[in-house]
Amino acid sequence: MSTRTVLNEADVARALTRIAHEILESNRGADGLVLLGIPTRGVTLAHRLAALLREFSGTDVEVGALDVTMYRDDLHRQPTRAPQPTSIPASGLEGATVVLIDDVLFSGRTIGAALDAIKDIGRPDAVRLAILVDRGHRELPIRPDFIGKNLPSARTEHVTVRLREMDGVDEVAIES
């Protein structure tokens, strides 16, 4: 098995900075935004993006976590998937612009499950999608609004995102 690093710490920081600026531009500021990270690394990325949005706009943005385990259509393939906590900001999602955040977009099934979960929680004005790495191979018609890096890869390759809060280092690697 060979591993090659495709994003280092500086690349990850640059990608998140760009995504934060794009979110602010698209939303015309930070008002009304709610960031929902998909566990596990999506939650960490959501907190980082909230800090960047606060730095660039001067506005605090609410952050939550959205576990999609029980909404997945592939539980029969991975029945040992352990649910993570879902935490929705006290203000809820009604009338907000929700930005879903995940580390890697592959088939689109996780995001499809997230959209189903959001329907059970509330009715935001809009839902946007921010992804650190888009590797293609979509099985559902899902397209991110904000992308850190497009990373074409073979289906047989594995993309690994490591974040310093969890793994001690910021990097994205492809294992083949």
Q: Which amino acid is at 56?
A: F
Give domain status of residue 79, yes or no: no
Q: What is the pLDDT of residues 94-148, one digit of tens each?
A: 999 999 999 999 999 999 999 999 999 999 999 999 999 999 999 999 999 999 9
Instruction: Tell whether 139 is covered by a domain.
Output: yes
44 in a structural domain? yes
**DSSP-H helix ranges across 28-167:** 41-57, 109-121, 164-167
Indicate the pLDDT class of residue 18, thresholds 50, 70 and 90.
very high
Six token digits for residue 37: 């990270």
Residue 17 lies in a domain: yes
For the whole model, what pTM was predicted?
A: 0.94
Give residue 1's pLDDT: 80
171 assigned to some structural domain: no
CATH, residue 131: 3.40.50.2020
Instruction: Report yes or no on 15 lying in a domain.
Output: yes
The first and second tokens of residue 10, run together, are: 């500086």
* Count of domains forming the chain: 1
47-56, 58-67, 81-90, 128-137, range with the lowest pLDDT:
81-90
Residue 120 lies in a domain: yes
The three-state secondary structure class of 54 is helix
Strands (E), the chain: 3-7, 33-37, 62-65, 97-105, 126-134, 146-150, 158-162, 171-175
C-alpha angle 41-42-44 in degrees, rounded to nearest 5: 65
Angle between helix 41-57 and 9-27 (nearest 10):
60
Residue 25, domain member (yes or no): yes
Domain extent, residue 28, equals: 9-71+89-156
